[in-house]
Structure formats: C-alpha cells, structure tokens
C-alpha cells in the first residue's frame, strides 16, 4: 500500500508541475488531486476506527471527523473554483472553519492514542504545543506577516481564520512529535507516518498564509503539495 500510494502521488506531482495535457485534462487532475487524498484519508481512518477498540478507536474517530470536515471544505472550494469561477483564495468562513477543524481533531486524536505515556502528560503536551505555536506566530507576525497583511488590507474574519491555520497546525505537530517520542516500539511506525504527514500539512499551511499575505499565492503552487502528501501519509498510517 505504501509503495503504490507513493508512486501515485509522485506521478500526480510530476504531472501537475509539468502541466501535461489539455486544459480539461489538467482540470480533472486538479479536482482528483484535491479531493482524492482527503477522501482516501477519511475512509482509511474510518476503516481503522471500525477495526479497533477502546482509546485506539476513539483516536481514529477523532481523526475521521477532522478529515471529513477537510474533505467537505475541499468540495466547497472545488465547487467555487471550477463551477462558480471564483479565483479568490479565501472562501466563506464556514469553509475555512472546516479546514481548521482538522488540526484540532488531529491534535485530540494524537493525545487519545494509547501509545504508552501517562495520562498526566497529555496536558503538558498541549501546553508545550501551544507555547511553541504562540512563540513562532509572534516571530512570524513581527518579521513578516504584520507588514504584509497591512499592505494588502486583509482584515476580515476570514483572514483571521487563515491565520489560525499555522498556529493550530504547529501546535498539532508539536504534540505529535512529543507523542512519538514517548510511544512504545509497536506504535512507532504509525506515529512516525502520522507525524510526518501532519508536518507536511502544516508546512503547506504556513506557506499558504505567507504567500497569501504577500499576494503571491497561486493555485497548483509547489508549496501546496504538502497537503495531498500529508493526507496520503495519514491514510496509509491508518491502514498499517
């Protein structure tokens, strides 16, 4: 499964970046590449939840809820872009909230997994993640984002939600790394793939906010490949 998924993603990335085929062909590729990974991940985590029990099932259920919200938001974005012809990168707040629900649900899922750390450590992990996210956000805001957002005039609630992406994603990645460090050996492979997948998703989310603030974000940017790659890894982790 891992090799097939890696081969499919590699073929998709090369085809997308090379721009092979007609406009209609590229349109189908973009739609499939946008919806496919999130649906694959949601179905995979759903299957994992059905096959497991106890806290492991709870963790996969949380992950499935977050991925389902992501997939629904992706469907709305695809509809706005290809059927309504919208080229705006910030869609209705409800859609952005759908994307934002995933890192929150993933963070809860990582804390629920029965990987061997004591229950009292969960609060410390969340606190550590929040401190790291807040620190990085302050540095990024002072160094880059404040001036860029002031220049572009992006001040509405949708923009606030877009800024919440990197903060929540960095928190989730920090928690995932801490969980991985404390995980039993039998959980290492699953936790490693989840952590790498969440890191790739967070990297694309941070790149999106940075480029959007500078009015330089474009669809099919290489910076966005972390989203499908990360979602694929989350789905593969659920099937291991």
Task: Write the DSSP assignment of 56-69 as a string of letters.
Answer: HHHHHHHHHHHHHH
Share of the chain above pLDDT 70, in %: 74
Residue 132: C-alpha distances to residues 84, 127, 166, 199 (Å): 39, 9, 11, 14
Residue pLDDT, tens place only, 161-209: 666 777 788 888 888 888 888 888 888 899 999 999 999 998 888 787 7
Locate 132 and state its tokens.
């790291």
pLDDT exceeds cutoff 90 at 67: yes
Inform me whether the pLDDT recorded for 30 exceeds 90: no
Residue range 105-148, pLDDT digits in tens:
999 999 888 876 655 566 676 677 677 767 776 776 666 556 55
Report the C-alpha gap between 194 and 200 in whole angstroms: 10
pLDDT band at 58; cut points 50, 70, 90:
very high
Instruction: Measure the CA–CA gap between 162 and 217, rounded to whole angstroms.
Output: 13
Nearest to 50 by CA among 238, 207, 213: 238
């Amino acid at each position: 499964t891992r090799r097939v998924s890696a081969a499919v993603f590699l073929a998709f990335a090369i085809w997308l970046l090379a721009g092979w085929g007609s406009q209609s062909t590229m349109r189908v590729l973009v739609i499939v590449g946008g919806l496919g990974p999130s649906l694959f991940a949601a179905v995979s985590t759903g299957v994992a939840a059905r096959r497991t029990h106890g806290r492991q099932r709870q963790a996969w259920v949380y992950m499935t809820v977050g991925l389902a919200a992501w997939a629904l938001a992706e469907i709305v974005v695809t509809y706005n872009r290809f059927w309504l012809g919208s080229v705006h990168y910030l869609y209705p707040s409800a859609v952005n909230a759908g994307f934002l629900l995933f890192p929150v649900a993933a963070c809860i899922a990582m804390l629920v997994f029965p990987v061997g750390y004591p229950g009292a450590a969960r609060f410390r992990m969340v606190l550590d993640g929040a401190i790291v996210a807040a620190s990085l956000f302050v540095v990024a805001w002072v160094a880059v984002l404040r001036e860029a957002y002031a220049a572009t005039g992006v001040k509405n609630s949708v923009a606030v939600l877009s800024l919440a992406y990197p903060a929540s994603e960095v928190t989730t990645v920090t928690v995932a790394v801490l969980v991985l460090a404390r995980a039993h050996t039998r959980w290492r492979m699953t936790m490693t793939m989840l952590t790498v997948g969440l890191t790739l998703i967070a990297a694309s989310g941070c790149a999106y906010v940075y480029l959007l603030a500078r009015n330089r974000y474009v669809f099919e940017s290489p910076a966005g490949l972390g989203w499908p790659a990360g979602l694929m890894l989350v789905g593969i982790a659920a099937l291991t």
